[in-house]
Chain A
Amino acid sequence: MTGKELLEILRNRVLVFDGATGTSLQTQNLSAADFGGEHLAGCNEYLNISKPEAPEKVHRGFLDVGVDVIETNSFGGASIVLAEYGLAERSYEINRRAAEIARKTADEYASPDRTRYVAGSMGPTTKLPSLGHIGFDDMKDSYKVQVKGLVDGGADLLIVETCQDLLQMKAALVAIHEFIEETGKGIAVIVSITIETMGTMLMGTEIAAALTTIEPYDIVTVFGMNCATGPKEMEENIRYLCENSPKPVFVMPNAGLPENIGGQACYHLSPDELEFWMTRFVREFGVSIIGGCCGTTPDHISRLVKISAQIKPKERDVSYTPSVSSIYSNVALHVDPPPVIVGERCNANGSKKFKELLLAEEYDGMVQLAKEQMKEGAHILDLCVAYVGRDEVRDMREVMKRFNTQVALPLMIDSTEYKVIEEALKMYAGRAIINSINLEDGEERMRRALPLCKKYGAAVIALTIDESGMAKTRDKKFEVAKRIHDLAIDKYGMREEDLIFDTLTFTLGSGDEEFRKAGIETIEAIKMIKREFPKSYTLLGVSNISFGLNVHARHVLNSVFLHYAMQDGLDLAIVNAQRIMPLYKVDARGRELCREVIFDERKFESAQAQAG
């Protein structure tokens, strides 16, 4: 089934997933022999080989009560997990068997007017890449084998479930992305994260940050949450998703919070209660897919089937604000009042301090510098570790390892090297911005960078530069922006809201006749872009406007220029937040002089004569 087909089904009704696989297997009181020996006891996935009747019995239990979708017994089927039982090499076989068992059982129950679907289950594994437990590529490769096994065994769709770490989730998605690219097979994907009782994902991710990170992935059809808690504890987050997520919402709660009784996790939520909450989620919030996680039995799930038969999901009124995100929280690409401030000091080419820290490999100091910028009011941080003679890939790896979990602000990855960019994206759990693309070498940079954006869900900055250099006039700036816009969308599958245009500015400080109108042209170009591409964003490295002037004059001119650019639609500004002052703090004379400089209000003899 493709994502489009899944959407089509969800248009008409609520889809019902099955209940717990793991806890249902437990109730079968399987012996070590059933698992294939003492050393494999507890490896549920190996049951697909050693005792296929066991997972089949679980499937039947749920199909008997009428579910639409059963999940394969492959939650821990990634080789990373199987390695703990010495079964890493058998991952493909185990996943394929899991899908085949589910397929066969589902087809038995299917009738011409009732399809039963098989969802290939992909759990979070036992490793957290954001904590350095495993490398991104190793994790992705492990998932890729699982994906292949599940699809070959007959899964209709894939569910990346119980996600604990956004980077783990991305590894799974990149595996699927590559699988689709390589095989050309379209398959619907559901992503489901786990919000712990403390209200965030295990790594501290807020629901809004998770949505921001997942939203750009067009291979993901449905997004939701499962496990950790009962439905009641999920209420606020489900409401958030239903109000904000452009993708249909999926919910699969546990049968309440587990209580530890004599060393056994016990789940107490009754079928009545589950029915009550899920009815609420469907009817009042508009949830599209419902199912049960740990502790839910066929008794529970039969109630969900009842809901699906009786209730249509509420039509959701979604408003999504495009954002970027760190592993913890998100930042919208437009704030009111503007601008979104991009801190510029974590840049080895722009900040002496950062360069010295990089040369001394003082990573903690770099983190500190990042935190200082946050305190100064930055919303997003530019990160550039390029320095002549150093290994940029290695430096990015070292810095990103720390920035990913230690810096709460979203990052803008600033590099001209695609290898560096991809390395950074592989280590970044949230949604990053790539800085940048342009048309200096024709389409080359776009051709290299935009597929990375698609693969890792990033936004991108586009500079108004083409083969003839930096655009100077408003018309030329707009023309370049339009060329990039059209190519990015039509050819590379980006969306308008993924693009952030930097209209660049030359300095007014040189006094060159050629650049006297640089400020006006830049501002006018911003206006044109915002008018023609209203969903896209604009950004400006403000301090270029004053290059060549003394420090204080720069400080003031930057502030005043930023003010006028914002008035005409500038969304983001790369600045040293500390060096920008609110306009009211600029003395009146200085402000007026800056305004005159920006709008080139020189006076001329002949003009006076004319006026006279």
Chain B
Amino acid sequence: MNMSESKCTYDPLVELMKYYTSAGVETKERRSDETLSLEEKLKRRIVDGDKIGIDDDLKKAMEKYSPLRIINEILLEGMKVVGDLFGSGQMQLPFVLQSAETMKAAVRFLEPFMERIEGMEKGLIVLATVKGDVHDIGKNLVDIILTNNGYKVVNLGIKVPLERIIEASETNKADAVGMSGLLVKSTVVMMENLEQMNQRGLRIPVVLGGAALTRRYVEQDLRKVYSGYLSYANDAFDGLHFMEDIKSGKINTQTTKEVAMASASIEETGERENKLSPSGKPAGHANAGFHLRSKVSEEIAVPRVPFYGSTMVSDMKVEKIWEYLNEVALIRGQWQFSKRGWDDEEYNRMLEKDVYPILDEVKLRVKREALLAPRVIYGYYPCQSDGEDLIVYSPVGEPDLQSKWETLKPGQPLDGRLKEWVRFTFPRQTDDRFLCISDFFKSKDSGLYDVIEMQAVTIGSKISEYTKRLFEDANYRDYLFLHGLSVESAEALAEYWHKIVRTELGIDGSDAKEVRRLFSQKYQGARFSFGYPACPNLEDQVKLFEILRPERIGISLTEEFQLVPEQSTTSVVVHHPEAKYFNIK
């Protein structure tokens, strides 16, 4: 066709120029929001986390669609955008939660108009923090994201034994099971659970998440023990993708067995001589001769001991504790304002503008509602090492009465006045520096007594109850902010008390001047907590409880050796200058 010969009756270019006349640019920009279709507007509300006035839009939408279609075809599309933005690093977690709150508000509005709620659920997952672990923020985030993307979640809570997980998944006819846990130990529990499930012939898809897990451990080690489909979730949206894959049939949960077996056999050829232990590290490497003492100096003088036995402290100013608040851990770690993709200046500007005001507000709320009840119990005890063992002594006679302890005067000879009381056994590194916590103390052979400080601190249970309520009321953002602050406040209290202990011991000379550098151990000695790499045995809590009796400030120990209230920590303080965190492989 020869266009020049025929008369043009419609030229989109002319229309385009008319449509966007210079004069109209401004109004068009502003109008664009209003000219959005109702569907787009609702979707954008979800993306922007804008729930104010959403009811009106929903009412209008209900004139056209059924509530179920509004959820599935409009609102969930918005959540999908949120997931993509989060996945590509363009959206920070607190804003994701704001979207989830909006989603929840919309669903809550629509629910009464729906005949059968079950119909909307795209799939069902049973979630649990595994036995022995109380950490649930990650699992709850998965709950939030899945729930607000149309999945049904049966959230079993914390410290859940395998029996309950299996039972719940059977009674609810679950499509999948999710297990979570923060502790290193939990990764072992997960392996045991999977072995059990496998033995019982269960093949339900399982997703695992938690701080101590790695993709490698899940995909290489755990897949060997479980024949069902097994996946690793690095963040809450991975949990969503996992469910989507399962429900869409993208993952053939029947054939995964062969895949798992195949990858296992590849592994075996590579690993024949070095079987991996549950931590993903070679277990067979602990050759004879590696169990000697480390090179830690034995010549360190014992510091002056302020007193023997334990004492309690309860009237502390919250502000004082917050001086030791690790804001980086709080903002980047707990709150997940990630620095990815930001340069320093921009990130700092964002912190000043958006984040610190939140911190101030949350702190104010905590103070106003008196949510923190900080208490500490701590004490100094004579001790000696014996190989990998650490012996804690008590005065001869009744051990656990403070009056007895007062017969021991710091600075006076201890010989003949002590008896062995509690004995810890700490693991030794099998390579690297062959460190063992006991090495930091005078040995039995030296004939000298060393000192160890132990402490239990708590910020009370009120804030845990408060945050739990926020979660139940779908105030996800506030939940994240307050929960994060509560975790870091307990840490801050432990850090603060460690500072006091160094002062009392007279070893605070090398303390960093800036508080933030204390978080990277810029001081003499180290503070170890059970369950962490250098002293992984949570069972040692029982011994610490025998010594300190933290029940006196309201801290108790569960059967799984977890502390109640949740925001409590116990630790032992080592004064030796070479003591720093290390890993046991």
Contact = CB atoms under 8 A, between A and B. Distances in A.
Given A375-B346, A604-B6, A604-B7, A593 B15 contact: yes
Contact of B8 (A550, A594, A597, A602): A602
Given A511-B13, A593-B15, A550 B22 contact: yes
A459 B238 CA distance: 35
B35 A550 contact: no
Contacts of A585: 32
Interface stretch (A203-211, A272-280, A428-436, A460-468): A272-280
Nearest to B21: A550
A550 B25 contact: yes
A597 B433 contact: no
A64 interface: no
Interface in B404-436: 431-433
Interface string A115-153: 000000000000000000000000000000000000000
6 nearest A-B pairs in the assembled complex, by CB-CB distance: A596-B12, A606-B6, A553-B20, A603-B10, A552-B25, A604-B6
A256 interface: yes
A597 B13 CA distance: 6
B16 A608 contact: no
Contact of B346 (A371, A552, A593, A602): A371
Contacts of A587: 28, 32, 35-36
Given A550-B22, A594-B16, A605 B432 contact: no
A314 interface: yes
Given A268-B433, A557-B16, A594-B16, A552 B1 contact: no
Interface in A558-612: 584-585, 587-590, 593-594, 596-597, 601-608
A587 B36 CA distance: 7
A63 B44 CA distance: 71
B6 A284 contact: no
B291 to A, nearest CB: 14
B270 interface: yes
Nearest to B289: A272
18 contacts: A232-B431, A272-B287, A276-B431, A314-B270, A371-B343, A375-B346, A511-B11, A549-B16, A552-B29, A553-B20, A587-B32, A588-B37, A593-B12, A593-B19, A602-B3, A602-B11, A605-B6, A607-B6
A276 B19 CA distance: 71
A16 interface: no
A584 B21 CA distance: 21
B274 interface: yes
Given A508-B13, A597-B12, A602-B12, A273 B431 contact: yes
A374 interface: yes
A594 B17 CA distance: 10
A511 B16 CA distance: 12
A549 B270 contact: no
A283 interface: yes
B195 interface: no
Interface of A: 232, 256, 268, 272-273, 276, 280, 283-284, 314, 371, 374-375, 408, 508-509, 511, 513, 549-553, 556-557, 584-585, 587-590, 593-594, 596-597, 601-608
Contacts of A602: 3, 8, 10-12
Given A272-B287, A408-B343, A550-B25, A589 B432 contact: no
A341 to B, nearest CB: 13
Contacts of B360: none
Contacts of B115: none
Given A276-B285, A606-B7, A601 B25 contact: no
A371 B345 contact: yes
B268 to A, nearest CB: 12
Interface string B278-290: 0000100101000
A588 B346 CA distance: 34
Nearest to A408: B343
A353 to B, nearest CB: 18
Contacts of B345: 371
A590 B20 contact: yes
**Which interface residue of A276, A513, A553, A601 has the most chain B CB atoms within 10 A?**
A553
Contact of B25 (A232, A551, A589, A605): A551
B9 A608 contact: yes
B407 to A, nearest CB: 42
Interface in B491-512: none
Nearest to A375: B346
A582 to B, nearest CB: 9
A407 to B, nearest CB: 9
B33 to A, nearest CB: 10
A604 B1 contact: yes
B284 to A, nearest CB: 10
Contact of B432 (A232, A550, A604): A232
Given A550-B20, A557-B16, A602-B10, A607 B343 contact: no
A375 B342 contact: yes
B4 interface: yes
A603 B25 contact: no
